[in-house]
A and B are shown apart, each in its own frame.
Chain A
Amino acid sequence: MKPTDIKNPDYFHKVVDCQWACPAHTPVPEYIRLIAHGRYSDAYMINWKSNVFPGILGRTCDRPCEPACRRSRVEDEHLVKGKKEPVAICRLKRVAADYKDDEGIKAAMPKAPAKNGKRIACIGGGPASLTVARDLAVLGYEIVIYDQDPKLGGFIRTQIPHFRLPESVIDEEVGYITGIGNIEFRHKKIESMKAVLAEGHDAVFVGSGAPRGRDLDVPGRKEASANIHIGLDWLSSVSFGHISKIGKRVIVLGGGNTAMDCCRTARRLGGEDVKVIVRSGFDEMKASPWEKEDAMGEDIPILNMLVPKEVTHKDGKITGVLFEKVKAEYDAKGRRSLIPSGEPDEHHECDDVLVAIGQENAFPWIENDAGIEFDRWGLPKLNEKSFQSTNLKVFFGGDAAFGPKNIIWAAAHGHDAAISIHKMFCGEDLDDRPAPGVNIVSQKMGIHEWSYDNAPTIDHRFKVPHRAKAEALKDIMAEVELGFDPKLAFEEAQRCLNCDVQTVFAGTLCIECDACVDICPMDCITFTDNGEEKELRLRLSAPAVNPTQDLYIGNDLKTGRVMVKDEDVCLHCGLCAERCPTGAWDMRKYYMEMAQAEQVCRKH
């Protein structure tokens, strides 16, 4: 294998699994350390810069970082007494938002400079548009945001129940953006893209989400329509206070996070017998595991492998839903199909049905001759790097770009679209994307001292305290999760392995004494003859069986051998560097920030 090129910013970035997995590439270990130090405001600002909505995401993020977390690969079942668990990254983010110094944060927020004469329209007031607005307003752009709802926030405000995300948090974080200045909100439903283009904006950003809930198409749907609600619309009506009641027996159709929000909301609006009924099996449901847990914790059963066949009704009123029982079958390619199991159909009685079986993009307001081409799935044709559409003045982001994802993706898209828009006005090539900012610094403080807590703890993941169920179900505004207190937050933060503190090897200094090999608790390090990766992976101190994780190859050794380090299970405990007599190993903090619009066009 070739020696590892650690100058490539991707190499060490990939070692920080959480940051690599995060669409916005938030420097996770850095803010977790700051939380452990009680520097909540600093932790908040790192998040704010990277993902714009720390308080919101700290409650609602889909957490792609957590399944990636190295902790879940290195824990010992016997020591943690149960499942290996990642660090509670998402809930730690909330801690930063909960305990920050609000006044200090307000004062630290950027202010818009003098206008630069360019005006950008953002369609939709959700996270993607707000991110674009933030990134461009600080550069002097004038931003106009359109939304059909009376307040900014988009799906964050309309779809996420307040018992999961209090409105005050949305107001606060939307306020930080509008507070920058040069951002105007117009409460207006956009009916025509051509009309918007005719208003003379210099560019248009479409962050209008995927706002159409898929409907149910079975016999009886029309006849019983008074008691059948599309989940997305229903949640939005609840959010704005237009709906405050539901029947006692409620069936929620669908297995995604919207279904989980629907059923838990129904429990708070008078639903006593609420159940979720899903076509697929439990494990294949799209809802995040923790959201399923929370729903079941509120006495909501989840019934699987049932496909709705017919809505039953009497005298124009719903009586229930008839389901066909199915089983999963897999073909040779592993593709699943649901086929009737042959068992008798099941009838479930109910007073109301909430349909949460998916959401779709819908752009009925974009005219065919607006210069924006769509693909056969109804999504705009975009340059995947720049988010530019075939109308070069129009950019897309968030769910409107590549279909339904979640908030953190919207923020990531927003940053990229803002870079593109800014580059366009500087006359730069949009395909030439800016490199991230990288800083790598030794953490050595003394012979055996490091500037980070290098001793890994063996604590199991700490649970976030919840409000008592009886109390939580009584009040739809009462937030269920209470968040970590500072003590729990500290203990959970200490579970972080500091994967951003990198093991950096210098072969020219190495005397091949084996001290690092002997001390490494994970048997990560081997000095051996070089070879092909596949074969090399099997003859290390411990086999490197995870091909998604790199081998770090160090050369320049006197014996002609190579140093091979399996990044997969490294604890970043720094013992290799502590035991190294010559400083061939060093622990260096790798801080990487994605470039934002501010960092491009510097020469202008």
Chain B
Amino acid sequence: MTYIAKPKLHHPSLVKNKAGYTRRDYEGAVSTLCAGCGHDSISAAIIQACYELDILPHQVAKLSGIGCSSKAPTYFVGASHGFNTVHGRMPSVMTGANLANRDLIYMGVSGDGDSASIGLGQFAHIMRRGVNMTYIVMNNGVYGLTKGQFSATADKGSISKKGVANSDESIDLVSLAILMGATFVGRSFSGDKHQLVPLIKAAMAHKGAAFLDVVSPCVAFNNHAGSTKSYDYVREHNEALNRIDFIEGREEITTQYAPGTMTTVQQHDGSWLRLRKLGEEYDPADKIAAMKRVQEGLQAGEVVTGLLYVDPTPKDLHHHLNTVEAPLNTLSTPDLCPGPAALDKINASLR
């Protein structure tokens, strides 16, 4: 944290986006996390993504649970809605909020403790229900607030700051999310904004359950030799499968690339994902192949990053339930109480 607020002065070249805001306008309160925390970099990436997407801050709802990561929403997009919910229970609150008002942009921010330990059940269910949201886990593999015990995502065999090896199997949230039916799944690293920002933008444009697992080193308790979530380890073992460019708008991409170096995916809202291949052949639309590749990476000790799985035509919770288009708070009394005639009609249909 810092004692002074970030000065209001800014670079003279700062420009406003289509919504009329500069990038600085998407900032929140000054962070109280430890200096060097990866979470602050993820916050900065979210700020950048929201700025580039011309998002209106008051149309964003950011919900979080409890923990270091769950403090982070205070530090970005200050002029939006949101609160810390109950530990591990952010998914159910977000599901409810989404049902009540589908017009907002939902962002769930959680940590490895909040999502993989106390909230694992809720995590699984929000994915299988297909809530339209961007769910970001700031994953550092330790309980930072309680001084560095292993969390459920710590890799088996990784060494704690005290020098003890983790004997438990780790939970891979990416595999779980794909298995549970999330329709946009990616992994990235807080220290690589070039990869992270377009992933967040694409996830926010995705009309379904989008999940991003962002490895975010804990500088206080998990950035030492022997840790598998340190800056050095992630940089050395990062296997980026693709580089994604997120392109708004429905225009066909005409830029020419050498054949086999790029795949394009058009999302349901018309936005394009241009995936530049980095080495191996990888098709993120193939769910089975994605699960296989992620598991192989785990076996090999790689940190597989990039856009790992995407269903370009997802169906969300509202679609499954056939709910009303309008947010519930905009429904009038005649909508909600259509009168005895309508009731009679319903009753008649049930006879």
For A524, the chain B residues whose CB sits under 8 A away are 11
Interface range for B: 35 or more
Query: Nearest-CB distance from A463 to chain B (Å)?
Result: 21
Verify if B277 is at the interface (C-beta below 8 Å from A).
Answer: no
Known contacts A511-B231, A519-B2; decide if A581 and B34 are in contact (CB<8 Å).
yes
Segment of B37-45, B58-66, B145-153, B321-329 in the binding face: B37-45
Contact A581 B13 (CB under 8 A): no
Nearest B residue to A579, CB-CB: B35
Contact with B along A444-473 (1 / 0, CB 8 A): 000011000011101000000000000000
Contact B4 A515 (CB under 8 A): no
- Report the bound CA distance from A548 to B232 in whole Å: 36
Contact B3 A448 (CB under 8 A): yes
Contact with A along B20-64 (1 / 0, CB 8 A): 000010000001001111101101100000000000000000000
- Report the bound CA distance from A456 to B193 in whole Å: 28
Contact B7 A571 (CB under 8 A): yes
Contact B40 A515 (CB under 8 A): yes
Verify if A24 is at the interface (C-beta below 8 Å from B).
Answer: no
Query: Nearest-CB distance from A270 to chain B (Å)?
Result: 49
Query: Nearest-CB distance from B139 to chain A (Å)?
Result: 15
Segment of A70-78, A297-305, A367-375 in the binding face: A70-78
- Report the bound CA distance from A76 to B5 in whole Å: 17
Verify if B8 is at the interface (C-beta below 8 Å from A).
Answer: yes
Contact B40 A579 (CB under 8 A): yes
Contact A558 B36 (CB under 8 A): no
Contact B6 A519 (CB under 8 A): yes
For A456, the chain B residues whose CB sits under 8 A away are 7, 9
- Report the bound CA distance from A415 to B197 in whole Å: 56
Query: Nearest-CB distance from B234 to chain A (Å)?
Result: 11
Contact B219 A581 (CB under 8 A): yes
For B4, the chain A residues whose CB sits under 8 A away are 454-455, 573, 575
Contact with A along B148-190 (1 / 0, CB 8 A): 0000000000000000000000000000000000000000001
Known contacts A513-B231, A514-B191, A542-B11; decide if A521 and B35 are in contact (CB<8 Å).
no
Contact with B along A564-578 (1 / 0, CB 8 A): 000001010101001
For A558, the chain B residues whose CB sits under 8 A away are 232, 235
Question: Most B CB atoms within 10 A — which of A515, A519, A524, A542?
Answer: A515
Contact A514 B1 (CB under 8 A): no
Query: Nearest-CB distance from A299 to chain B (Å)?
Result: 37
Query: Nearest-CB distance from B72 to chain A (Å)?
Result: 12
Nearest A residue to B5, CB-CB: A455
Contact B41 A513 (CB under 8 A): yes
Contact A582 B36 (CB under 8 A): yes
- Report the bound CA distance from A514 to B196 in whole Å: 13
Contact A74 B9 (CB under 8 A): yes
Verify if A523 is at the interface (C-beta below 8 Å from B).
Answer: yes
Query: Nearest-CB distance from B97 to chain A (Å)?
Result: 28
Query: Nearest-CB distance from A559 to chain B (Å)?
Result: 6
For A521, the chain B residues whose CB sits under 8 A away are 6-10, 24
Query: Nearest-CB distance from B74 to chain A (Å)?
Result: 15
Query: Nearest-CB distance from A273 to chain B (Å)?
Result: 44
Inter-chain CB contacts under 8 Å: number: 105
Contact B10 A522 (CB under 8 A): yes
Contact with B along A521-555 (1 / 0, CB 8 A): 11110000000000000000011010000000000
- Report the bound CA distance from A517 to B23 in whole Å: 14
Contact A522 B11 (CB under 8 A): yes
Verify if B12 is at the interface (C-beta below 8 Å from A).
Answer: yes
For B193, the chain A residues whose CB sits under 8 A away are 514
Nearest A residue to B41, CB-CB: A514
For B11, the chain A residues whose CB sits under 8 A away are 522-524, 542, 569
Known contacts A511-B231, A513-B36, A581-B219; decide if A575 and B13 are in contact (CB<8 Å).
no
- Report the bound CA distance from A577 to B338 in whole Å: 63
Query: Nearest-CB distance from A235 to chain B (Å)?
Result: 42
Which residue in B6, B12, B24, B223 is a CB contact (below 8 Å) of A569?
A: B12
- Report the bound CA distance from A521 to B24 in whole Å: 8
- Report the bound CA distance from A543 to B219 in whole Å: 30
Contact with B along A497-518 (1 / 0, CB 8 A): 0000000000000011111011
- Report the bound CA distance from A582 to B24 in whole Å: 26
Query: Nearest-CB distance from A452 to chain B (Å)?
Result: 12
Query: Nearest-CB distance from B78 to chain A (Å)?
Result: 15
Contact A76 B1 (CB under 8 A): no
Known contacts A513-B41, A542-B13; decide if A458 and B8 are in contact (CB<8 Å).
yes
- Report the bound CA distance from A131 to B3 in whole Å: 45
Verify if A79 is at the interface (C-beta below 8 Å from B).
Answer: yes
Nearest A residue to B38, CB-CB: A513
For A204, the chain B residues whose CB sits under 8 A away are none
- Report the bound CA distance from A76 to B25 in whole Å: 14
Nearest A residue to B223, CB-CB: A511
Contact B9 A515 (CB under 8 A): no
Query: Nearest-CB distance from B225 to chain A (Å)?
Result: 12
- Report the bound CA distance from A543 to B13 in whole Å: 8
Question: Most A CB atoms within 10 A — which of B7, B36, B217?
Answer: B7
Verify if A56 is at the interface (C-beta below 8 Å from B).
Answer: no
Known contacts A518-B41, A558-B235; decide if A511 and B7 are in contact (CB<8 Å).
no
Question: Most B CB atoms within 10 A — which of A511, A543, A545, A573?
Answer: A511
Query: Nearest-CB distance from A99 to chain B (Å)?
Result: 28
Verify if A156 is at the interface (C-beta below 8 Å from B).
Answer: no
Query: Nearest-CB distance from B1 to chain A (Å)?
Result: 7
- Report the bound CA distance from A602 to B11 in whole Å: 47
Contact A580 B9 (CB under 8 A): no
- Report the bound CA distance from A455 to B3 in whole Å: 9
Verify if B14 is at the interface (C-beta below 8 Å from A).
Answer: yes
Contact B9 A455 (CB under 8 A): no
Contact A579 B2 (CB under 8 A): yes
- Report the bound CA distance from A512 to B231 in whole Å: 8
Nearest A residue to B230, CB-CB: A511
Query: Nearest-CB distance from B54 to chain A (Å)?
Result: 19
Nearest A residue to B23, CB-CB: A523
- Report the bound CA distance from A513 to B34 in whole Å: 12
Known contacts A76-B8, A458-B8, A512-B231; decide if A579 and B36 are in contact (CB<8 Å).
yes
Nearest B residue to A71, CB-CB: B9
Query: Nearest-CB distance from A600 to chain B (Å)?
Result: 42
Contact B36 A511 (CB under 8 A): yes
Query: Nearest-CB distance from A578 to chain B (Å)?
Result: 5
For A543, the chain B residues whose CB sits under 8 A away are 13
Known contacts A448-B1, A518-B41; decide if A571 and B9 are in contact (CB<8 Å).
yes
Which residue in B6, B7, B37, B232 is a CB contact (below 8 Å) of A515?
A: B37
- Report the bound CA distance from A408 to B190 in whole Å: 52
Enumerate the 5 nearest inter-chain pairs by beta-carbon distance, A residue then B residue, closest first.
Answer: A581-B36, A518-B44, A455-B4, A542-B11, A581-B219
Chain A interface residues toward B at CB < 8 A = 73-76, 79, 448-449, 454-456, 458, 511-515, 517-519, 521-524, 542-543, 545, 558-559, 569, 571, 573, 575, 578-582
Sampled A-B contacts (30; CB under 8 Å)? A74-B9, A79-B9, A448-B1, A449-B3, A455-B4, A458-B8, A511-B223, A511-B232, A512-B191, A513-B36, A513-B41, A514-B41, A514-B193, A515-B35, A518-B40, A519-B31, A521-B7, A521-B8, A521-B9, A521-B10, A522-B10, A522-B11, A523-B10, A542-B11, A559-B235, A571-B9, A575-B2, A575-B4, A578-B2, A581-B37
Given contacts A448-B2, A456-B7, A575-B2, 19 further A-B contacts (CB under 8 A): A79-B8, A79-B9, A448-B1, A448-B3, A458-B7, A458-B9, A514-B191, A515-B40, A517-B44, A521-B10, A521-B24, A523-B10, A558-B232, A579-B35, A580-B35, A581-B34, A581-B36, A581-B220, A582-B36
